Amino acid sequence: MAAAKPVHFSELLKNAPKNWGRFGPNDEIGGLNFLTSAEVLRGIRAVKQGKVFTLGVPLARPQGDPLYPSRSQPIRTMAMDKGFYISGKAQPFPGGMEYADDVITMYLQGTTQYDALGHVWHGDTIYNGYDAKTTMGGLQKCSIQPIAEHGVVGRGVLIDAARYKGKESLDAGERITLDDMLAAAKKQNTPIEKHDIIIIHTGWLKRFYDQGAEGIFPKGAFNEPGLGYSVELAKWFHEMEIPSLGSDTIASEQTNHEESGTMIPLHMALLHYQGVIFNEIDWTHDLAQDCAKDGQYTFLFVGAPLKVVGGAGSPVNPIVIK
């Protein structure tokens, strides 16, 4: 049952671990500090077959893309195409070359994306203790740029939570507990190792493409399934030094934490407190099908967000190589 009045995050998370200061006073990349060259090589050692999966969703479809309800759909328009030449508005280059150009207007988090560490906070400080006023007019601290400069490269592990629960997709608001995640990993014969990049498959995103918006916003509600907050889960992420978490949902976590009445508390407990890099709206369906077939749930994961100066996030097309 939902709490009558939401508990403030400062109270809910009073025993949750924090990495502020752990990587120095100037840190802006949090968990990516764990992704050293040794971790890149560990990721490369997970490559066994040369199979490639791309986790980005199609961008700016005329019929609409999956995104957080307050964000508007990406709009792509042609700035140059054959019509410009036909109408005489443009002339071919000397030699005859013509070209097409286009412009996109979108939320940087309006597709498969990474969140910057300055994307969310409570109170007056963002990750690592920087003043939240540094977000005004563009993130001067903890923007997506330092994350993009580093890259998100290491060993990835897919946790197929839908398969573990015997479903094609989890239900609206369904929680994946720490025990669920560890039991799913065990069932897959793939224990999660320290510094693994965790990608959770819930089957949720496929509902959007099969059923339209109603599939992921039943009765208009934003109520996603996913990993749910507990202090044990937060401590486990801290002990395991998990650099990054992704999923096939819009926020990569269970939306509503009923015990406290809070919304998306892992954005606070993991991203804001520990610097875990969040990756969202991943297309995991094909990868999950393939992992179930060949039993290989680990891979080299390569996430390359754009170096958007001052950006709170960035689109990305993560690459998985098995």
For residue 132, state whether it binds ligand UVW (rule: CB under 6 A).
Answer: no
For residue 290, state whether it binds ligand UVW (rule: CB under 6 A).
Answer: no
For residue 160, state whether it binds ligand UVW (rule: CB under 6 A).
Answer: no
Helical pair 178-187 and 231-240, crossing angle rounded to 10 deg = 50
* Contact characters 33-72, ligand UVW, x per CB under 6 A: -----------------------------------x----
- The CB-side HSE value for 176 (13 A sphere, CA atoms) comes to 31
For residue 267, state whether it binds ligand UVW (rule: CB under 6 A).
Answer: yes
* Number of residues forming the site for ligand UVW (CB under 6 A): 10
In the complex, least distance from residue 276 CB atom to ligand UVW, rounded to whole angstroms? 12
Nearest to 124 by CA among 134, 112, 113: 134
Comparison of 222 and 299: residue with beta carbon closer to ligand UVW: 222
* Contact characters 191-230, ligand UVW, x per CB under 6 A: ----------------------------------------
In the list 43, 106, 109, 184, the residue contacting ligand UVW (rule: CB under 6 A) is 109
| Binding window for ligand UVW (CB under 6 A); candidates: 53-61, 114-122, 128-136, 199-207 | 114-122
CA dist 162 and 203 (Å) reads 6
CA dist 18 and 40 (Å) reads 25
For residue 296, state whether it binds ligand UVW (rule: CB under 6 A).
Answer: no
Non-local (6+) Cβ contacts of 289 within 8 A are none
In the list 264, 277, 291, 321, the residue contacting ligand UVW (rule: CB under 6 A) is 264
For residue 280, state whether it binds ligand UVW (rule: CB under 6 A).
Answer: yes
- The CB-side HSE value for 253 (13 A sphere, CA atoms) comes to 25
Beta strands in the chain (DSSP E): 52-54, 75-80, 101-105, 113-115, 152-160, 175-176, 197-201, 226-227, 244-247, 256-257, 262-263, 277-280, 298-303, 313-315, 319-321
Torsion of CA 266, 53, 281, 243, to 10 degrees: 20
Comparison of 109 and 296: residue with beta carbon closer to ligand UVW: 109
The binding site for ligand UVW (CB under 6 A) comprises: 68, 109, 115, 119-120, 250-251, 264, 267, 280
